[in-house]
């Protein structure tokens, strides 16, 4: 079971802040992040990459996106 961040409906910079918090907490593994705007999708992907995580996939989830990031 991967960790999850639900950032739907939150405005900048909350989605990135929540993602960063989670990254600091779990250090490695997989995290699923739910966002509902393209801006958040880009910002979260950019932030995860900058922390050495890989964006494994972005899937449509309802009207938003589910971003899977991972670090070994």
Partner 1 sequence: MIRKFFASRWGIISVGAFIGVFAPLLQKWGNPGNMGICVACFERDIAGALGFHRAAVVQYMRPEIIGFVLGALIAAYLFKEFRPRAGSAPIVRFVLGAFAMIGALVFLGCPWRAMLRLAGGDWNAIFGILGLVGGIWIGTLFLRGGYNLGRAEKTHTSVGWLLPLIMLGFLVLMLLYPQVEGQDKSGILFYSIKGPGVMHAPLFIALGVGLAVGILAQRSRFCTMGAFRDLILFRQTHLFSGVVALVVVAFITNLILKQFHPGFANQPVAHTMSLWNFVGMVLAGLAFALAGGCPGRQLFLAGEGDGDAAVFVLGMIVGAGFAHNFALASSPNGVGPHGIAAVIIGLVVCLFIGFTMRKKVA
Q: Which of 2, 13, 28, 56 is the binder for partner 1 (CB under 8 A)?
A: 13
Q: How far apart are CA 47 and CA 56, in angstroms?
A: 14
Query: Which of 31, 30, 32, 71 lies closest to 54, judged by CA?
Result: 71
Interaction between residue 66 and partner 1 (CB under 8 A): no
Count CA atoms closer than 13 A to 64's CA, side-chain side: 18
Minimum CB distance to partner 1 smaller for 12 or for 28: 12
Interacting residues with partner 1 (CB under 8 A): 5-6, 8-14, 16-18, 20, 36-39, 42-43, 46-47, 50, 63
């Amino acid at each position: 079971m991967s960790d999850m961040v639900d950032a739907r409906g939150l405005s900048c910079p909350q989605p990135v802040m929540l993602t960063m918090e989670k990254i600091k907490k779990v250090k490695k593994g997989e995290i699923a992040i739910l966002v509902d705007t393209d801006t958040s999708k880009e910002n979260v992907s950019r932030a995860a990459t900058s922390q050495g995580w890989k964006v494994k996939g972005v899937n449509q989830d309802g009207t938003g996106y589910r971003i899977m990031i991972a670090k070994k």
